Structure formats: C-alpha cells, structure tokens
Amino acid sequence: MKITVIGTGYVGLVSGVCYAEIGHEVVCVDKDSAKIGMLQAGEIPIYEPGLEKFIAGGRLADRLSFTTDLPSSVRRSELIIIAVGTPPLPNGEANLSYIDGAAQEIAMAMDGYKMIAVKSTVPVGTNERLADIIRSRTDEPFDSISLPEFLREGTAIYDTLHPDRIVIGAESEAAAHKMVELHSPLTDQLMVTDIRSAEMIKYASNAFLATKISFINEIANICEKVGADVLRVAEGMGRDRRIGPSFLKAGIGYGGSCFPKDTKALIQIAGHVDYEFKLLRSVVEVNRDQRFSVIRKLEKCFDGQLAGKTVAVWGLAFKPNTDDVRDTPALEIISRLLDAGVHVQAYDPVATDNFRLLLGREGVSWHGKAMEAASGADALCVLTDWEEFAQVNLGQLQASMKRPILIDGRNVFDEENMLNTGFMYDSIGRPS
Ligand code: UGA
C-alpha cells in the first residue's frame, strides 16, 4: 500500500518505519525542514533504541522516504496517517490545531479517494470534526479511520511490530477491511469498532495504566508505614491474572508526553459532558505528590536542613532508554532542591542536553559519568531506572561520596545487597 504519514515525532516516525519494514511504500512528511533534512541524511532526530538500524544505511531506502511536500505525497497515497502532536493547552485539553491544519492541507491536496487515519491521541468526536473540515473543502471521497497508537517510548519499534492489539475505528466496512489486511501481518489481535469507541479506548487505556501506577505508589507509601515491602506486595498482587504484574512498579510516579497529558485531557472530556471523573483526579493528584517523596526522604536525612548540601541526581529522563524529558518528575524535584539552596550534580546517559534546556536555570553541574556526578556529594538520588545504575560498584560509589546517603526513587537497588554496604539507603515502599 502507498502510505503517507504526517508528523515525524515518535509515533509518526516509528509507524512509518514499521509499515515500510512490512513491505509498504511510505512517505513521512513534516513541516520541519531541518528534521526532514536529518532523516534524508540517515540521521535520527529522536533517541529511540533500534530505530537507527532502519534509517541509517538506507536499508529501507527503496520504500521509505522523507519530505516536506505534503500535497504530492498525499496525492500518491491511498492511506494518509495523521500522527501530529496534540500537546496540552493550559487547561489540560488537547490542542488540536496541528490536527486541524493537517486536515485542511490534506483536503486541499486530494485528487481522488483516500483513507484518512488518525493515530494522534484525540478526544472523542475529533475524527468526525476532521471529516467535517475535509468535506467543507473538497468533494473528493474519503473514509475516516481512528487508529490509536499504543507504543511506548524506548521500546517503540518492538511494540509496533509486536502489538498486544490493534484497534481500528471505522464506519466504512471496506476501509475497515483494508485496515485489517494492512495490520494482520503484525498480530491476529485486531479489533474493529466504531470511531468514537476507538478514540475512547486510547484514553481509557492510558488512564487505567496511570491508575495502576498511582495505586501501587499509594500502597508503597502505606507499606513504608506498616513495615511491608511493596515489591513483594506487587508480586503477590500481580500473580492474580485479573490484576497482572505490569505497571505495578512503585517509584516517583509517571511522567512523559502521554500519561500526564492524557489523564488531564480525559478529565476535561468528562467535564464537557458534565461528568466529574473523581478517580482520575485523585490519580493525577497522587502522581504529582509522589515525586516529592524523594525530597521528604532527603529532609529526613538532614533534619530538614538542605541548604548548602550537594545532592547528586542520577536520571533525568522520565523513564529509561529515552532522552525525552517531557513532564519528567526530575524537573520538579531538581527545581525544589535548587529552591532549597542545594547544589545539584546531575547525570543521565542521554537526556542531559534536553533536561538542561528544560530546566533553564543555574545551580546544577552536569556530568558525563555517573560516578563523576556522585563524587563529593552529601547524598545521591536515583530518579530514573536506567539499567547502568543497578550495575555500579557500590564500594567505589560509597568511597567517592562525602556521605553515603542513597535515596532510590525507582527501587533500582536490591535491598539485601544494600544492607551489606555502609550506605544509609532509602527507597520507595520498602522497609528502611
Ligand atoms: C505510554 C503507554 O505505556 C503506551 O501504551 C502509550 O502508547 C503511550 O503512553 C502513549 O500514549 O503514546 P510511555 O509514556 O512511552 O507509554 O511510557 P511508559 O513505559 O508507559 O511509562 C510511563 C511512565 O510511567 C514513566 O515515567 C514510567 O517510569 C512510569 N511507570 C511505568 C511507573 O512509574 N511504574 C510502572 O510500573 C510503569
């Protein structure tokens, strides 16, 4: 199939690459000519493990190309996939201006039948709105499809090539059939439904996963007070197949470009139909507060006297294997430390440049190695569960620090191992 993907962010780029990988002819379009220039030169504008092997070296060059020319690629394609951003507005609602803009440009370029699928996360009813925009600008025939995306950053290629399910929202049987054909090499878990339900499945799934995280974080907070171990509790809960073991990792809460935005957007969507989503409001509130557990633990270690201390921070990205710092808990934690007069020594394997720009203030020294960041520090806080942190030589780490205080915000270290070191070790939801 000839496919145009509009938007070369995580979703657009990874989807484009994966459709090309399973044999389709894909053009990825973006307005950002610098980004397109990079991609044409075989460079990748985002950090995503595994992506480079598809783009660099021109492995898919015969069927994957990049352009800023939306009209001609739309005309050449049977399927247009919209994967532009829907960043949050100040009130939490999704900003649909990029979606609307894409619809207008598609309509202006159309010269025959097209299937138009939306992969961006959009509120219920957006596909219909989009269809109205297109219909008001062209008489050419088209079918709307909602094609929600469930990939995770850091494992985006794997998730796209091995999805748990693919949800296809379509009113036209013929278009639904074509979408089933297109995706059946990837999975037999294909679900065809109406467009509004497909749009809702995306928000409901992310809201539910966020709920699992906030739930286990509250259980962790209680575990600390009653002397239970949240790791054991999550394992015991997860063995019940109705609960499942995933997304029960306690820590400093979720971040990233999806859960924070989508939970708030769903609260707004409910509000528009006069429904107060009380549970989800609490999920958001719990998540916001959870990140500060690291600060509270530090304050406890220093009797509330943080001013003048040097605190090392390992991990700035919202999760491992990504350089994405959008809504990363590290931002508020480090900002609060700086406000308290702390000097921060920070390290992340790949996200430092992005984080530095995001933070935009002085008071932090940036380091290229984990050990270097910890050197001379009064305490070390682990904020992202990068694999390399669990592998460090704890003896060497302790010797390099001024005081052996380790606050593990992601339960990276094995508690038993820590007992055999001289560290004052505190983690989330485990007896300290
Ligand atoms: C999330 C969903 O997992 C994807 O299915 C969805 O497609 C995507 O949002 C999206 O809407 O685009 P992502 O944000 O890439 O994917 O990352 P996750 O792996 O889900 O992690 C999100 C956050 O939750 C991270 O900050 C992570 O550290 C945190 N988390 C995750 C926990 O604190 N505990 C857990 O048990 C799992």
Residue from 15, 153, 294 to probe ligand 1 pocket by mutation (most atoms less than 8 Å from CB): 153
Average pLDDT over residues 409-424: 93
Residue from 122, 149, 258, 408 to probe ligand 1 pocket by mutation (most atoms less than 8 Å from CB): 258
User: What atom in ligand 1 is closest to the CA of residue 322?
Assistant: 15
Q: Are 393 and 374 in contact (CB under 8 A)?
A: no
CB distance 151 to ligand 1 below 6 Å: yes
| Domains in the chain, CATH or no CATH each | 2-193 (3.40.50.720), 202-289 (1.10.1040.10), 291-427 (3.40.50.720)
Neighbours of 46 (CB within 10 A): 16
User: What atom in ligand 1 is closest to the CA of residue 255?
Assistant: 26
CB distance 248 to ligand 1 below 6 Å: yes
Ligand 1 center from residue 408 Cα (angstroms) = 19
Residue owning the nearest CA to atom 3 of ligand 1: 152
- pLDDT at residue 416, rounded to an integer: 86
Q: What is the pLDDT of residues 151-167, one digit of tens each?
A: 999 999 999 999 999 99
Q: Are 81 and 5 in contact (CB under 8 A)?
A: yes
Please list, in sequence order, all residues whose beta carbon lies within 8 angstroms of the beta carbon of residue 373, skipping any fewer than 6 positions away: 312, 313, 314, 345, 346, 347, 365, 367
Q: What is the pLDDT of residues 12-57, one digit of tens each?
A: 999 999 999 999 999 999 999 999 999 999 999 998 989 998 988 7
Q: What is the pLDDT of residues 298-344, one digit of tens each?
A: 999 999 999 999 999 999 999 999 999 999 999 999 999 999 999 99
Q: What is the pLDDT of residues 345-395, one digit of tens each?
A: 999 999 999 999 999 999 999 999 999 999 999 999 999 999 999 999 999
CA distance 128 to 132: 6
Q: What is the pLDDT of residues 226-251, one digit of tens each?
A: 999 999 999 999 999 999 999 999 99
Tell me the sheet residues that pair with 380: 312, 406
Closest Cα partner for 142 from 82, 64, 68? 82
> Per the confidence metrics, is the pTM higher than 0.90?
yes
Angle between helices 126-135 and 97-109 in degrees, nearest 10: 40
The per-residue pLDDT of the chain, averaged, comes to 96
CB distance 150 to ligand 1 below 6 Å: yes
* Confidence band of 61 (pLDDT split at 50, 70, 90): confident
Helix (H) or strand (E) holding 220: helix 195-226
Percentage of residues in the chain with pLDDT exceeding 90?
A: 93
The answer to whether residue 419 scores a pLDDT higher than 90 is no
CA distance 311 to 351: 18
Residue from 48, 319, 332, 427 to probe ligand 1 pocket by mutation (most atoms less than 8 Å from CB): 319
- In angstroms, the Cα distances linking 134 to 15, 101, 107, 243 are 23, 11, 5, 43
Q: Return the active site residues.
A: 258
Ligand 1 center from residue 206 Cα (angstroms) = 8
Ligand 1 center from residue 313 Cα (angstroms) = 21
Average pLDDT over residues 410-420: 92
Residue owning the nearest CA to atom 34 of ligand 1: 249
Q: Are 123 and 155 in contact (CB under 8 A)?
A: no
CA distance 252 to 65: 40
Residue owning the nearest CA to atom 7 of ligand 1: 150
Q: Which DSSP string do the residues of 317-335 spell out, in sequence order?
A: SSSTT----TT-HHHHHHH
* Confidence band of 196 (pLDDT split at 50, 70, 90): very high
CA distance 362 to 57: 40
CA distance 128 to 355: 38
Q: Are 339 and 268 in contact (CB under 8 A)?
A: no
Ligand 1 center from residue 254 Cα (angstroms) = 7
